[in-house]
Structure 1
Amino acid sequence: MSLENARKYLAEFGRDSDIIEFPVSSATVELAAKAANVIPARITKTLSFKIDNRCILICAAGDAKIDNKKYKEFFGVKAKMLTPEEVLEFTTHAIGGVCPFGVPENVATYTDISLKRFSTVFPACGSSNSAIELTCAELFALSKAKEWIDVCKGWQETEEI
């Protein structure tokens, strides 16, 4: 169902036919990188957090980790990830297929600058075996991201490949 939500959403932009459905799992960064035949850093992980009983999504590079200090400086609260049950409830996507496509309007999405070093990236499309290849500008636009932010660490050493 979640893949269908993402497909329907992307169809509004003429991009539904660009969804890649893999014959294998892409539920983790490592599995998605193998399935897409790219380095793990180019996989866009969509992380879900709770702020004041609402959900925000942060799209970040596969090799990036949330920097708690930067997160608190930007959002004004400590980072609190959603439980798997909350992720499904807030986003309509299950862990392993969480993406910024087809989520409820009250879910705010942000894109982390860790992605900007790549010409294209691969976010999931609502299932544990799907993705779509997008430029960073396309990801920002299609996800209706509020802004580019800098809340991750651990990725600066990786160059584009």
Structure 2
Amino acid sequence: MSSNLSKSAKKVQSVLNEFGFELNVVELSDSTRTAQEATNTIGCSIGQIAKSLIFKGKTSQKPILIVASGTNRVNEKTVKNHIGEKLEKADADFVLEHTGFVIGGIPPIGHKTPVTTIIDEDLMQYEEIWAAAGTPHAVFKLTPKVLKEITHGDMIFVK
């Protein structure tokens, strides 16, 4: 399967292989760029989409990854209270520079630079979730428990 993947999706699959779980990247013909598009393409509920959003710490200027349930909008004040600094929106250049991936395909793992990771506690209600895998057409299925293990993210309610 992975021999037919695009370069970015292969990179994600390679990182996933290092964790020792059976996690397989699939590339789909329809877009998974947004949570709604992913829901339509995969056929799962929107809450099962683990959307990876990159923010920037206002003071530190470091990348902060928030993996949120597709139904939730991130409450920046809640995250600020957890990490101790305000968030800023990260532009496409910042995202690419720090993750190595384009917006719409950012996976929760395999970034160019270390990224502080926050995971939305709402994802824990699902047996399986879907995350981006390097392109707006690539995804992989996993459990919330595995997501926490492979990202070492802090679990909080982000909405």
> Taking structure 1 as the reference length, what is the TM-score of the superposition?
0.86
Aligned match for 1:97, one of 105, 114, 138: 105
Aligned to 1:33: 39
Q: CA–CA distance in 2 between the matches of 1:108 and 1:94?
A: 18
Q: CA–CA distance in 2 between the matches of 1:23 and 1:141?
A: 30
Q: What is the 5 A alignment of 1:1-161?
A: 1-14=7-20, 18-51=24-57, 52-145=60-153, 147-150=154-157, 152-153=158-159
Q: CA–CA distance in 2 between the matches of 1:77 and 1:141?
A: 25
Q: CA–CA distance in 1 between the matches of 2:114 and 2:19?
A: 20
Contact 1:43 1:61 in 2 (8 A): yes
Contact 1:8 1:16 in 2 (8 A): no
- C-alpha deviation, 1:125, in angstroms: 0.6
Contact 1:7 1:16 in 2 (8 A): no
SS of aligned partner of 1:90: helix
What number of residue pairs does the alignment pair up?
Answer: 151
What amino acid is the match of 2:116?
A: A
> Identity over aligned residues, as a percent?
28
Distance 1:141 1:27, change over 3 A: same
- C-alpha deviation, 1:37, in angstroms: 0.3
Q: CA–CA distance in 2 between the matches of 1:102 and 1:16?
A: 16
Return 117-126 or 65-74, whichever deviates more. 65-74
What amino acid is the match of 1:129?
A: H
Specify every segment of 5 or more residues in structure 2 that has no aligned partner in the other structure, as ranges.
1-6
Specify every segment of 5 or more residues in structure 1 that has no aligned partner in the other structure, as ranges.
154-161
